[in-house]
Structure 1
Amino acid sequence: MRDTINRLFVNQQKKSQELRIAPIADRKAELKKLKKWILTHKDRIRKAVYTDLRKPESDIDITEIFTVTSEINHALRKLNVWTEPKRVSSGFTYIGTSAKIMYEPKGRCLIIAPWNFPFQLMVSPLVSCLAAGNTAILKPSENTPATSTLIKEMISELYAPELVTVVEGAIEETQILLSLPFDHIFFTGSTAVGKIIMAAAAKNLTSVTLELGGKSPVIIDQTADTDDAARKIVWGRFTNNGQTCIAPDYIFIHTHQLDSFVASTKKYIAQLFDPESQGMRHADGYSRIVNEKQANRLVDILNDAVTKGAKVIAGGDHDVTQRYIEPTLLTHIDETSRIWQEEIFGPIMPIQTYDDLATVIQHINTQEKPLSLYLFSKSSVTQKLIEQQTSAGSMVINDVVIQYAHPNLPFGGVNHSGIGKSHGHFGFLEFSNQKSILKQRIGLTNASLFYPPVGGFKKILLKWMINHF
């Protein structure tokens, strides 16, 4: 396997150099091919993702297909503008020069995808990678084998391996890939694995984009519309069985709002995921946990919370052999419990009440910075307070999750929740080297004013410049 991977890596070297001078039209052609394949083979995508996650067709269309095709469409519309060298002002100190920023491809890239959105989180970064003019080796998740096989088939049908290729496998194959001196690595997954990726990249001084996770909090204050909040949170939390990096992870709700919020939450769980009242176990619109290992982990943290005093106020039913866990709400959480300490990544939602917003802010600021933070409030004062006094990769007011697909916003975390940004122009920049180009005239140069020896007039001029420029 090592020889095969090394050969793929070497073969992409020549291609990556050719792409530096290839016309932008070639990049667009590759993106159009990808879009056409996706639109032609939607049924294959649906079948693969359903096999791995039992995800409903409508969810697949929205979260796996639409998000990719919209990313392609946006890149096709904007690519000429993104790739145009950007002229910048030289200012007084550089009179006589011209300066610009050129966006050149980084080169050979490695993209490692997770299992929770196995098609979209593999292909969306590839869109940015190709738009920026790079080659790519793709590593799909071994935990979603049907989708991994589909991606391998798709790439082999679309691209020569020296442009894009797929390496399937698990830890051994990933370790081999990480030992190679890629020009950029794009990883989506857990913080724990992100640290491993970053450590491996450091050995070759490879740049990285790390889309990680963490515990994304929700605050529901005393002014919030609890019915509106419940509907949005139920959708954002329990779609894909809670296996979403930006899903609401835990809730702080004002004490006076708890009862109405819980009542609405129960109502919308049934409406959104079991509209025909089949029972959640049999509902067609409710996904499954990816494998028994993850299901067991979730049951363990649920049991740990209950043992330490948590009350199950909705749900709680589960069957690990079927990878099934019912949407579950918990209150009276002991802060030493695992569910309050670990990223949940499943359909369990812990709820804590509060009376003083300052305690909520203090809690958030003593934890690792989250990927997302959600606030439900009608108060502009509270909105501004949370914006200014907390830090997160993104913040959404009066909704959840929808920031991910916004075409003009950067997506990514901060510190433990991620490094770098993606999507649209920000994804293009992540896979590009922003090369500074300065053109000086021949002969006279302003810099000669400070060639040694520096004395007299030069010292006076230097002092003046220090004070004014």
Structure 2
Amino acid sequence: MTGEEIQALLDAQRAFFNSGATLSVDFRIKSLRKLYDAVKAHEGDIHAALTTDLGKSAYEGFMCESGLALTEISYMIKHVRKLARRTTVRTPLAQFASHSFTQAVPYGNTLVMSPWNYPFLLTIDPLADAIAAGNTVILKPSAYSPATSAIIEHIVAECFAPEHVAVVTGGRAENTALLEQKFDFIFFTGSQNVGKEVLRHVAEFLTPAVLELGGKSPCIVDASANIELAAKRIAFGKFLNCGQTCVAPDYVLVERSVHDKLVAELAKQVERQFGATPLENADYGKIVNQKHFERLCGLIDESKVVHGGARDAQSCRIAPTIMDGVVASDAVMGEEIFGPILPVLTFETFDQVAQGLKGKAKPLAAYLFSSDKGHIDRFTHELQFGGGCINDVVIHLATSEMAFGGVGESGMGGYHGKRGFEAFSHVKSIVDKKTWLDLPMRYQPYSNALYEKLLHVFLR
């Protein structure tokens, strides 16, 4: 799509929004129900597209993408009427007599830019939030997952008029053309480097934005942890979607006294969950493309591989790989891995871990396996990260009841459920002042002693 075509599409959406059509909550619910029904009707097509793009099985496709998308849509259908309602707040005595309230209103014309690793979920989730809040939406899915982009485009065309919701496909040229337009709100999920570019563009128009980025998410295992269960859950979360998950445990920090046991259990769990030869497992996916496959291969230090390491360049597949004896200067620790490589580092004391993490960029997620209440308290209160789990990994994002988002280098803003509605809304603060009484003390001249005393009573 050319820049002129994008401009025409945005103009049509702006006119549609200005008509007031999206302000009706009934209209929003009807739109969400159409989307829900379409996702249900096209589940097979969605899962087939995910298999084409990422090698995901239908089971994983539903568990991690279409099923979670349905959950978010149904949450919005159930709660949008309440979320869109005005909320009365207390009026201070100095503003008597009046009624004070807040009212959530849509931003207007919004842009949702989504990534390739969970291409359906991370497009449809924010779309549901944006529709529920009463916006128009242009979706820009990743060019790296073309089969999923195609089914998203089909579903959107089936459910919505283009002046309400539309899909723009393509690569960098289309991204640039979109970011050169003035939107009322932008929602971006992707890498930190592209996130910085998005932020530079939105600054030109002072456009509010939510950025869902990434980072090196640590997984801490101390001596008090249930090591067998920790290994089971870490292996699941790390190698889900071949490690191409923004909140996957990027690396493990394990207390020295349980290091050997954890590494052995991790190796056992890889074989139990993915088989002795994971590259022959039909339910184990692939790296999205050759570029990322080669990047990941460059991060593997063969001398430190203690389990896995097999790869097939033709199918872009890398077996779950555990690297031990890793140090901070190794290549695998120099960037977010975003693949099925798990480095293991060792620590002596929890204080050493806490102080070390405080000096690093704030990650999108962090995980702690422990039964030590002191360590859990320090993890919860001292360390800075977007979100995380205690004695599990990744599952904190699979709920509409809590916001999901980063902090600092890993992003800004959050969404899911109520927070998703709020992300795509501006909340107006309004005072409805009554006309039957007008308190005189705010007006000049300021010479009345009684008024001054009353002012001090009101404002304290």
TM norm structure 2: 0.96
- TM-aligned CA distance change 1:87 to 1:68, over 3 Å: same
Deviation at 1:428, TM superposition (A): 0.5
Q: Deviations over 1:369-390 (max 9, x none)?
A: 1111101111222111111111
- For residue 98 of structure 1, give the secondary structure of its aligned residue in structure 2: strand
Q: Deviations over 1:185-205 (max 9, x none)?
A: 010001111111111011111
Aligned-pair CA distance for 1:461: 4.8
- Deviation digits for residues 270-290 of structure 1 (CA, Å, limit 9, x no counterpart): 12122xx5x211111211000
**Shift, 1:17, TM fit:** 2.0
Equivalent in the alignment of 1:71: 72
1:151 aligns with 2:152: yes
Provide the residue aligned with 2:103 in structure 1.
Answer: 102
Q: Distance in 2 between matches of 1:183 and 1:20?
A: 17
Q: Secondary structure at the match of 1:399?
A: coil
In structure 2, what is the equivalent of residue 396 of structure 1?
389
Unpaired runs of 5+ residues, structure 2, are: none
1:214 & 1:41 partners in 2: Cα distance? 33
> In the alignment, what sits opposite 1:293?
291
Matched, 1:453 2:451: no
Residue 243 of structure 1: how far off its partner (Å): 0.3
1:51 corresponds to which residue?
52
List aligned pairs for 1:338-377, cutoff 5 A. Answer: 338-377=331-370
Q: Residue in 1 aligned with 2:247?
A: 246
Q: Equivalents in 1 of 2:300, 2:85: separation in Å?
A: 53
Matches for 1:1-400 after TM superposition, within 5 Å? 1-19=2-20, 22-274=23-275, 277=276, 279-303=277-301, 311-400=304-393
Q: What is the deviation of 1:21?
A: 6.4
How far residue 465 of structure 1 moved from its aligned partner, in angstroms, is 5.5
Query: Residues of 2 paired with 1:320 and 1:89: CA distance?
Result: 64
Change in Cα spacing, 1:260 to 1:19, as seen in structure 2 (3 Å) is farther
Give the whole-Å Cα distance in 2 for the aligned partners of 1:243 and 1:103: 35
Query: Given that residues 214 and 371 in structure 1 are in contact (C-alpha distance below 8 angstroms), is that contact kept between their aligned partners in structure 2?
Result: yes
Q: Give the total of aligned pairs.
A: 458
Does 1:428 pair with 2:421?
yes
Q: SS in structure 2 opposite 1:321?
A: coil
Which residue is equivalent to 1:413?
406
Unaligned segments of structure 1, at least 5 residues: none
| Superposition RMSD in Å | 1.5
CA distance in structure 2 between the partners assigned to 1:280 and 1:53 by the alignment: 15
Matched-pair identity in %: 35
For residues 338-382 of structure 1, the C-alpha deviation after alignment (integer angstroms, 9 at most, x for no partner) is 321211100011111111111101111111111111011112221
2:248 is paired with a residue whose SS is: coil
Q: TM-score scaled to structure 1, two decimals?
A: 0.94
Structure 2: which amino acid aligns with 1:88?
V
Partners of 1:127 and 1:21 in 2: how far apart?
13
